[in-house]
Structure formats: structure tokens, C-alpha cells
Amino acid sequence: MTPAADTAHTAHTAAPPRLVSRLPQVGTTIFTVMSALAAEHRAVNLGQGFPDFACDRALPDAVTRAMQAGHNQYPPMPGIPALRAAVADKIEALHGRRYSADTEITITAGATQAILTALLAIVHPGDEVIVLDPCYDSYVPNIDLAGGRAVRVPLAPGSFRPDFARIGAAITPRTRAIITNSPHNPGATVWSAAEMRQLEDLLAPTAVVLISDEVYEHMVFDGAEHQSAARFAGLAARAFIVSSFGKTFHVTGWKVGSVAAPAQFTAEFRKVHQFNVFTVNTPMQHGLAEYLQDPAPYLQLPAFYQAKRDLFREGLAGSRLRLLPSAGSYFQCVDISAVSERSESDFCQWLTREIGVAAIPLSAFYGDGFEQRVVRFCFAKKEATLRAALERLRRL
């Protein structure tokens, strides 16, 4: 080949094929933006929702023992039997419903994969899925990837409680599913038993599937109880119930979760699961199965996080930030109206640069960027981290 021909060949193959995005509206997430800004300005990062403290040493020790025992090859596709059994036992003990470990429990690569897999299993092109705004940022892109159309129904501003009249009005013959989230991110509300029964009654005459995101299930405060969809027969019969070991045991980077669903739902779920992740990290499954034999770590979690919530709320009580209720999750929302005229996003960037504390604008959780002068802090942090943030926030 001559040099000229070689150059021509190189030019011919240099341009990559043009791609048409499946998610053309998706850019860099607000969590990535704010975490990068926090690192740049050495701010206390109360934005992204993850702990800055270690998990119980017994948990990684159990994983280490599993690796040393040779549990390092592929596990069964739906998860190891011991972990599925532990999940079924836990649900029965807490919520009074028995799921079959063999046919109704699946171990997933975190809750986000679980929600995407459920949507891919049930949603067809043209189907509608109701989401309640504000909502976690993966829901709508997941619906888009499944070929469905998200129908956004707002929760009541400020209280973030469900408006069942608006939810009912949004249900059409095309509605395939609704995604709920309690305890709620970002609003920190917890659905009551009465609200769960209202949802049960609303869905009873329909064929709508419920995807119940319950990843903060053990972070419910002031003596309240988490009202899992598993507690309500009419909901459990139509629900994928999503949980997260990462959230519960302070190991968000492990990305291990679970889904409980009726056998016929689980069969469809596993068809997709086996082709998008196939299965989940083997030694971590064995470690979690061993660790779950003692219920104390998750039964103590409400008091553990309530202490952090109370410390944070008491520290802000004298400030000009108006505290909204925080009944569950590890989030605290505040109204910034008395502090700044800036938009939520501009305020969070200013707060990070000038005050040295990172937060997340609530508008980022709405499809239309709805502004209500509210931002979200995460208090899943060491006491020293929270005190450092509070010292800075008291300058406001």
C-alpha cells in the first residue's frame, strides 16, 4: 500500500458512527455537579446521599470468610438460597407476609437495577407509568429505556403527601404501573397505613402494577412504623417491593438489593434479570446471609438515624433556614426563603462556594424544575461532619 493510499484509508476509518441517544435529555446529574463543586471548594458534602462512616466490621468480616471459603464463582441466577430465605424471613417477621424464597425473592445489583428490571419486564411501547414528583432521578430515564411514557403527578408541595384525586385522574387504560417511594427521597415523608389503604382501594379495580421503592424502610422515626406494601393484601398481589442492603447496612458501594413479588411477576422479572446482570456478587451475598441472622442491626437503625436527624435539626433550629418535617429516610429539607432570593440551584452553588456546605436543590427532582425555595441535606454522616456543617450553616 502506498503512503497516499494508507493516508486515505486512515481518513476513511477515523470518523466514528453517529449515535442517536436513547436518553437525549439526560446530562450530568446534579449529584455529580454538586459533589465536584464540594470537592473543589473543600465544602462539607451533605448533598449526595451516602454515609461517610464505616459499616459494622462484622459484615466485611463475613464477606471475607465467604471469599476464603471459596464462594467466588457464579451464584444461582436469582441469588443464593440462604440470602433469599433470610429476606423472606425478614419480611414475614416485620410485615406478616410470607414470600417463597424460591419463586418470589430475587437478589439484585442494587435497587436502581431492580427498578429498571421491573420496568423492562412489564412495560411495552406506549404504556404509561405514573411517578410522583418530586422523585428519585432514575425513575423517568428507566421508563424511557423501557419504551414507556412517564406521567408525572405532583405530591402536595411542602408536605410531599399523595393527592389521590390527582393520582386517580392520571390513571388511563394505558397505565401499566405506578412507582411509589416511602420513606420518601427527597421529601423525607412516610406514607401512613391510611394512605396505603387509599392506594389499595384506588388500584383495586385496575390492572396497574405497583413498584414500591422501600430502600429507606428502616429509617422511620418518632415511634412510627414503615408501612410496606407487603402488609396490604391488595397491594402485595400487584407489587414489586424493592429493598437495599446498601442503604440498610451503610455499604452503598456494594450495590446489592432485593425484590419481593408474586411468583408470576418474579418469573417475568427474572427473565430480564438474567440478561442484564445475570447475577450478583457471590461473597457479598454469603456475607449478607450470615449477617442477617441477627436482626439487631436493622432493628436499631431507626434510633441510630433519629439521633443524627435530631442533632442536625437542633443545630439548625436557631437559623433562618425553616425546617420541614423529616419523618423518615436520612434527608432533611429546608425552606430557604428567609435566607436568599436565589433559585434553589443558584443557592446550592452559592452555599457550597461561600459557606462551605453542599446541598441539593429540590427542583432537580421535578420534571419541570418546579421551584418552591427548598433544598435537601443528607444527615447520614459522622457526628463530627454534621457539627462542622452546622457551624458553617449558622453563619446564614
Do both 258 and 303 map to the same domain?
no
pLDDT tens column, 79-122: 999 999 999 999 999 999 999 999 999 999 999 999 999 999 99
> Domain range for residue 106?
58-293
Residue 9 in this model has a pLDDT that exceeds 70 = no
289 shares its domain with 304 = no
Same domain, 210 and 344: no
Percent of the chain residues topping a pLDDT of 70? 97
* 171 lies in the same domain as 188: yes
In this prediction, residues 362-390 reach a mean pLDDT of 96
CA angle in degrees (0–180, nearest 5) for 229-51-210: 20
Residue type, 335: D
pLDDT of residue 5: 52
| Domain assignment of residue 3, yes or no | no
Last residue of a domain, one of 270, 293, 316: 293
Q: Give a yes or no: residue 62 inside a domain.
A: yes
Query: Taking residues 63-67, what's their average pLDDT?
Result: 98
Tell me which of 274, 293, 312 is where a domain ends: 293
Looking up residue 305, the CATH number of its domain turns out to be 3.90.1150.10
Pair (198, 305) in one structural domain: no
- Locate 28 and state its grid cell: 450530568
pLDDT per residue over 235-256, tens digit each? 999 999 999 999 999 999 999 9
User: How does pLDDT run across 214-236, given as a tens digit for each residue?
Assistant: 999 999 999 999 999 999 999 99
158 and 35 co-located in one domain: no
If asked whether residues 29 and 135 sit together in one domain, one would say no
Question: Does residue 17 fall inside a structural domain?
Answer: no
User: What per-residue confidence (pLDDT) applies to 53?
Assistant: 96
Instruction: Note whether residue 284 is domain-resident.
Output: yes
> What is the chain's Cα-based Rg?
22
Task: Round the average pLDDT of the chain to a whole number and report it.
Answer: 95
β-pair partners for 24? none
Q: Are residue 68 and residue 163 in the same domain, yes or no?
A: yes
Per the domain annotation, does 8 fall within a domain? no
The total of structural domains in the chain comes to 2
Question: The C-alpha cell of 32 is what?
Answer: 455529580
Mean pLDDT of 334-355: 96
pTM for the predicted model, two decimal places: 0.95
Asked whether residue 139 is assigned to any structural domain, the reply reads: yes
Is residue 13 scored above 80 in pLDDT? no
First to last CA, the chain: 71
Residues 323, 309, single domain; the answer is yes
| Last-in-domain residue among 293, 326, 349 | 293
* 53 within 8 A of 67, measured Cβ to Cβ: no
Considering the domain architecture, whether residues 265 and 174 belong to the same structural domain is answered as yes
Any idea what the CATH number is for the domain that residue 252 is in? 3.40.640.10
303 in a structural domain: yes
Are 370 and 226 within one domain? no
Q: Please spell the DSSP secondary structure of 196-236, one letter per residue.
A: HHHHHHHHTTS-PEEEEE-TTTT-B-TT-----GGGSHHHH
* Alpha carbons 288 and 293: distance in angstroms, whole number: 9
Q: Is the pLDDT of residue 33 over 90?
A: no
The C-alpha cell at 6 is 494508507
Same domain assignment for residues 136 and 233: yes
User: Is 324 part of a structural domain of the chain?
Assistant: yes
